Structure 1
Amino acid sequence: MTALELTLTGADVLLPESGVSRTDLTIAEGHVQQNRAGRQIDLSGYTILPGIVDLHGDGFERHIAPRRGAMKQMDEGIRSVEAELAANGITTAVLAQFHSWEGGVRGPVFASQVFAAIASVKGSVVTDLIPQLRFETHMLDDYAGLPARIAQWQVPYVVFNDHLPHDRLAQGRTPPRLTGQALKAGRSPEAHLEMLQTMHERKNEVPIAIETLCTELSRRGVRLGSHDDATADTRAWWRGRGVSIAEFPETLDAAEAACAAGDSIVLGSPNVVRGGSHKGNASALELIAMGLCDALASDYHYPSPRRAALMLAKGGLLDLAGAWALISSGPAQVLGLKDRGILEPGKRADLVVLEADTHRVAATLAGGRVSYMSGDIAARFVN
């Protein structure tokens, strides 16, 4: 697919040094250019911002498994995901796939199919799709072969989760939603409960298994993150194993500990849009106000990054440049993607065009290629 060669004129453009200003923006060969080139297109009435880099989202699940067993051609599901991403201004997307005892769409077999589908469409979609593995730490029988599978799946980013209901299991009580989970995993409720109890009883074996795995994955250059850190001690424990990304810390203590040590902090955009966590965890707005956020992610809702950044700017918590950095240059830095996140010569031509008055997404370009365009703006490109 050929990248466009265009000079976009008349729009307000968010630039890294000067902020928002009325200026020309030239793209060619997939990158932002210093000098004018190509056909000129008048984008008066629009705002051009860096493309959104979403470093953690699992909203794709509904595309690849709308109903149990309904999606047989998973690559078509991934293409549908890409369309939604582009329509929301996302030019780089980390697709966060579970590898969990929960089974079904979160089970190991399904994970393998998802990663194969992502790899199969990469050459034919515009949005940069990056697979992420969310590994449940108490799946001790899966550790031995995991590094090889991660390499085979071309996964550059692994996050560690522990969703076992330890309190209930320690008390000998049946966990909530046991029957539904068992059915999704294809097990009887009795077999599912026995599996959970066994994993809980082997919890003392988990730390050394994690340490060995982290050492090997770090050696292979895989980025590592922890999910839902609840305490400063938990964050310090993960940091000691080379896990330097804190996704969605649940408390102020955990976030402060991450910041003090130089770890990257990722918060959820829906938390900002809602005005708080739906689970009663730390408020993203409060953490952002305290400077305890490096990046906002879609989490489970792809429209939220754009909405969150605009809300932060409108509310005066940050200026537009600072707010938009949380969904563009900030996540790009966390992922080590030095070629994107800002609009300056030499960087990828990843950009989102918003209607100036409504802030709706009018067009999205990734690597200088159109991934989404809708409404009146299309006529300006065609004529």
Structure 2
Amino acid sequence: MTIEITLTGARVLRPSGWDDGPLGLGAGQVWDDATGRQVDLRGYDVLPGIVDAHGDGFERHMAPRRGALRERDAGMWAVANELASNGITTAMLAQFWSWEGGLRGPEFALEVLDSIAVTNPRVPVDLRPQLRIETHYLEAFEQAEHAIKQFGVGYVVMNDHLPHDRLAAGRTPKRLTGQALKSGRNPADHLALMQRLHQAGDQVPAMMDSLCARLSAQGVLIGSHDDDTPQSVETWSARGARVSEFPETPQAAEAARALGMGTVMGAPNVVRGASHAGKVAAKDIIASGLCDALASDYHYPSPARAAWRCIELGLLNEAEAWALVSSGPARLLGLADRGTLETGKRADLIVMDRETRQIVATIAGGEMAFLSGKVAARFVA
């Protein structure tokens, strides 16, 4: 049930910047006029809810220990609660559709997609699927397209995790045994599969062109992933991609901007201060004005922390930094009804302790999604 209240006394981050005017909420939307009872939030800040454009942190809840436990719907419920506690009101759950198998294979992907469909109507946080299709997994394209239609997947990203250099040189890929065990295959079978997919590489461009054309015709947003050269960005742009996720070099990020593609960087990269994989530091892309959104990637607490880290580093002011986790990703995803606190938009917001920057309350779609600590007394009084 949505709540009708007016938040008073807080600093509110609106599109024009901070102000201390009242913020009305009703019928799941932000209102100009006061509505319902007043909640005194002096000492707190109110900011737009976080829109997470890419995150796979849900895996640890649905499959907490390989081979021992898979907890589907209860796991997705826990995901929704973790998201809310970290201020994420819209979450794009990034699920692989990959030859890698295990948690990245089609069988698990279908479980995730179905669990999102079952859980989403029951929780305030808006859970949305993103499917990450491996470019060389040609034999699974038809099944992937069926799943996209069946579950209404609106965002598809193309990945290529084959170790082409080592396969072309006839060398054994690194960490083969561990990856094979995760896939449920023996190492010899896993290697044979990788070799077969690599050898069929000449079929990939035409198949990708065709798949992207069909998805675009259905209104599916297409993204590329880990672009390392301008040429890679140009290829994906020509196929209809509108988002470049985690470009690995400044040149790739510059090419994405020149071609009108949105750029998503990893919030953990900002918090850490560098890429864990030795690629370009997200803070450098932000400093260059080439980042449109920060995503949780694999760690849901990171978007809020990364926004404030941008301020601490002197990269952006508060409104600009928070836009990277709210209005920026909302714009890239085509979600015009959220991302800012404006009349008529979804009542997606967080309440933050001004001193500690701890998120103490989250409202998603006008429903209370998370409430903790002393601020609870303000809401229930």
Describe how 1:194-343 pairs up with structure 2 within 5 A.
Answer: 194-343=192-341
Aligned to 2:8: 9
Determine the C-alpha separation between the residues in 2 that align with 1:275 and 1:172. Answer: 36
- Does the CA-based 8 Å contact 2:48-2:348 persist in structure 1? yes
Question: What amino acid sits opposite 1:189 in the alignment?
Answer: P
After superposition, the C-alpha distances for 1:97-143 in whole angstroms (9 at most, x for unaligned) are 01111111111100001100110111101100000001111111112
- Does the CA-based 8 Å contact 1:71-1:77 persist in structure 2? no
Aligned to 2:51: 53
Determine the C-alpha separation between the residues in 2 that align with 1:171 and 1:355. Answer: 55
Question: What amino acid sits opposite 1:8 in the alignment?
Answer: L
- Kindly state the Cα deviation for residue 261 of structure 1 after the two structures are TM-superposed: 1.2
- Kindly state the Cα deviation for residue 364 of structure 1 after the two structures are TM-superposed: 0.2
Q: Identify the match of residue 78 of structure 2 among 74, 80, 83.
A: 80
Aligned to 1:347: 345
After superposition, the C-alpha distances for 1:50-108 in whole angstroms (9 at most, x for unaligned) are 00000100111101010123444401100011111000000000000011111111111
| 1:179 and 2:177 matched | yes
Determine the C-alpha separation between the residues in 2 that align with 1:135 and 1:339. Answer: 28
For the residue of structure 2 that corresponds to 1:163, the secondary structure is coil
For the residue of structure 1 that corresponds to 2:53, the secondary structure is strand
- Does the CA-based 8 Å contact 1:147-1:216 persist in structure 2? no
- Does the CA-based 8 Å contact 1:34-1:345 persist in structure 2? yes
Aligned to 2:111: 113
Determine the C-alpha separation between the residues in 1 that align with 2:6 and 2:75. Answer: 34
After superposition, the C-alpha distances for 1:232-281 in whole angstroms (9 at most, x for unaligned) are 00000000000111000000110000011111100000111111111111
Question: What amino acid sits opposite 1:90 in the alignment?
Answer: I
- Does the CA-based 8 Å contact 2:63-2:71 persist in structure 1? no
Aligned to 2:63: 65
Determine the C-alpha separation between the residues in 2 that align with 1:81 and 1:182. Answer: 27
- Does the CA-based 8 Å contact 1:97-1:111 persist in structure 2? yes
Residue segments in structure 1 that go unaligned for 5+ positions in a row: none
Residue segments in structure 2 that go unaligned for 5+ positions in a row: none
Determine the C-alpha separation between the residues in 1 that align with 2:143 and 2:40. Answer: 54
For the residue of structure 1 that corresponds to 2:100, the secondary structure is coil
Q: Identify the match of residue 32 of structure 2 among 28, 31, 34.
A: 34
RMSD of Structure 2 on Structure 1 (CA): 0.9
- Kindly state the Cα deviation for residue 314 of structure 1 after the two structures are TM-superposed: 2.6
Describe how 1:360-371 pairs up with structure 2 within 5 A.
Answer: 360-371=358-369
- Kindly state the Cα deviation for residue 188 of structure 1 after the two structures are TM-superposed: 1.4
For the residue of structure 1 that corresponds to 2:369, the secondary structure is strand
Aligned to 1:150: 148
Determine the C-alpha separation between the residues in 1 that align with 2:40 and 2:143. Answer: 54
After superposition, the C-alpha distances for 1:157-188 in whole angstroms (9 at most, x for unaligned) are 00000000111101111111111111221211
- Does the CA-based 8 Å contact 2:64-2:70 persist in structure 1? no
- Does the CA-based 8 Å contact 1:276-1:282 persist in structure 2? yes
> Could you tell me the TM-score, scaled by structure 2's length?
0.99
- Kindly state the Cα deviation for residue 46 of structure 1 after the two structures are TM-superposed: 0.3
TM superposition outliers: structure 1 runs of 4+ over 3 Å: 69-73
- Kindly state the Cα deviation for residue 315 of structure 1 after the two structures are TM-superposed: 2.5
Question: What amino acid sits opposite 1:225 in the alignment?
Answer: G
- Does the CA-based 8 Å contact 2:87-2:359 persist in structure 1? yes
- Percent identity reads 57
After superposition, the C-alpha distances for 1:323-361 in whole angstroms (9 at most, x for unaligned) are 000000000000000000000111111000000100000
For the residue of structure 2 that corresponds to 1:143, the secondary structure is helix
- Does the CA-based 8 Å contact 1:51-1:90 persist in structure 2? yes
- Does the CA-based 8 Å contact 2:243-2:261 persist in structure 1? yes
- Does the CA-based 8 Å contact 1:33-1:346 persist in structure 2? yes
- Does the CA-based 8 Å contact 2:97-2:144 persist in structure 1? no
Determine the C-alpha separation between the residues in 1 that align with 2:281 and 2:182. Answer: 32
For the residue of structure 1 that corresponds to 2:277, the secondary structure is coil
For the residue of structure 2 that corresponds to 1:145, the secondary structure is helix
